[in-house]
Amino acid sequence: MIFRFSLYGFLKNQRYFEPFLFLAFLEKGLDFGQIGLLIAVRELTTNVLEIPSGAVADVYGRRLSMILSFVAYIAAFLVFGFASHSPLLYAGMVLYGVGEAFRTGTHKALIFAWLRSQGREHERLRVYGYTRSWSKFGSAASVALAAPIVLLSNSYEWIFFAAIVPYALNIVNFLGYPKALDERGDRERSVAEVFRHTGRTLAESARRPRLRRLFLEAMGFDGVFAAAKDYLQPVLEALALTLVASWIVADDWSDTQRAALLVGPVYFALHLLSGVASRQSHRVSERAGGDEPAARLAWVGSVLIFAVLTASALSGLLVGVVAAFVALYALHNIWRPVLISRIDEHGSSSQGASLLSVESQSRRAATMVIAPLLGQAVDAATVAGSATPWWPIGVLGMVCSAAFLVTARRATTRPAA
């Protein structure tokens, strides 16, 4: 099953459009504010469906939920590829949000269910970190394929269509998952049970202080990361036009092709580094003395990385901004497995998918608010004539990270409910 779990992550991250998503939207005539609104629509859709979709997974079956998710993704890719104006792009984002809602939390619950069936609960961080590393290696492979597609086609449309193939293969992969991993027990399959299960999960989340804290941390780290991470793409495009274009590419190459020459290698290296970081997350936890100390170290690293990003952006040092983004991706892939392990430790196994859906909803609620505001801030910094307009990202990240770092020790020493 670890092979199937790893294959899922590898195929799921064949999102050939991902390192070029902002650039594709900019090519369609959108500005950063409009892109932020698109991201907000995606997060809003996912948020509305997040907890109910987790309850559907727990009540009707987690494997069915994953198949429905990937059908919605495929429909979204078709819309993104054909869309030429904003209304269709919003429709695509709604479909993408549906896919995210039925996927997030559900597959992690499948992994933890298998570990429980094997008596290997104590390996949750190591196994999840390992399977997540294959997701990142999948991202690296997708970049290696996506960059040549953009170079040869001189367009971003085909990278959306290409993603349909691995997503269809993943549906076949899900059909081989054991039925026992659904962990349905004797629950009835009904809409009423979905609502009852949702209510029980929300009550459990609100009652336990440790879970509330973990959901807030997800908002502070993942919420900011999701809103900020894709700004690496226009940073790389700007760097490509100032450095790479002058000595590597032909004069008649388009900005799209020039950007692909730098975006491809950087994202390839970034995802390989992220995969290694994810696979080593359990070692970081062991050396830190546990998941809680490891989380505090991650917040320290986050403050330092965003400080470097801010200073580099204000001084116009694009290489420093890129380095900060790469470090942030690596840190995120250490912190994320640690967070998921902490949630599984404090939560109930019968509510696995639902609790992880609450976590996902929490961070997406933060992204939904932050993304359009951050887009407006970057647009304003651009109009103001800043050396580079990316410094608002660093300032926001520093403030959030410092707030959680300051409150971390007090929160972890509070008695558990």
CATH of residue 233's domain is 1.20.1250.20
pLDDT digits (tens, 9 = 90+) for 105-123: 677 778 877 887 788 777 7
Percentage of the chain lying above the pLDDT 90 cut: 10
pLDDT at 417: 44
pLDDT at 168: 94
- Establish if 114 belongs to a structural domain: yes
- Establish if 417 belongs to a structural domain: no
Neighbours of 250 (CB within 10 A): 8
What average pLDDT does the segment 328-339 reach? Answer: 85
pLDDT at 141: 87
| DSSP assignment of 236-289 | HHHHHHHTGGGTTS-TT--HHHHHHHHHHHHHHHHHHHHHHHHHTHHHHHHHHT
Domain total in the chain: 1
pLDDT at 195: 59
Q: Mean pLDDT in the chain?
A: 79
Confidence of residue 192 (pLDDT cuts 50, 70, 90): low
User: What tokens appear for 104 in the block?
Assistant: 């997030």
- Establish if 188 belongs to a structural domain: no
pLDDT digits (tens, 9 = 90+) for 269-327: 877 887 788 777 878 888 888 878 888 888 899 999 999 999 999 988 888 998 999 89
Q: Does an H or E element contain 371, and which?
A: helix 352-383
b/e map 191-230, b = 16+ CB within 10 Å = eebbeebbeebbebbeebebbebbbbbbbbbbbbbbbbeb
Residue of 86 and 188 predicted with greater confidence:
86
pLDDT at 400: 87
- Establish if 184 belongs to a structural domain: no
pLDDT digits (tens, 9 = 90+) for 134-162: 888 888 888 888 888 887 877 788 889 99
Cβ atoms of 120 and 127 closer than 8 Å:
yes
- Establish if 152 belongs to a structural domain: yes
pLDDT at 415: 46
pLDDT at 194: 57
| CA dist list (Å): 410 to 213, 406, 413, 414 | 11, 8, 5, 6
pLDDT digits (tens, 9 = 90+) for 210-226: 777 777 888 888 888 88
- Establish if 332 belongs to a structural domain: yes
Cβ atoms of 89 and 28 closer than 8 Å:
yes
Neighbours of 44 (CB within 10 A): 17
Q: Domain containing 34: what range?
A: 2-177+193-412
Amino acid identity of 69? Answer: S
Q: Does 416 have pLDDT greater than 70?
A: no
Instruction: Look at residues 363, 391, 51 and name the one whose alpha carbon lies nearest to residue 224.
Output: 363
- Establish if 205 belongs to a structural domain: yes
Q: What is the pTM of this model?
A: 0.65
- Establish if 83 belongs to a structural domain: yes
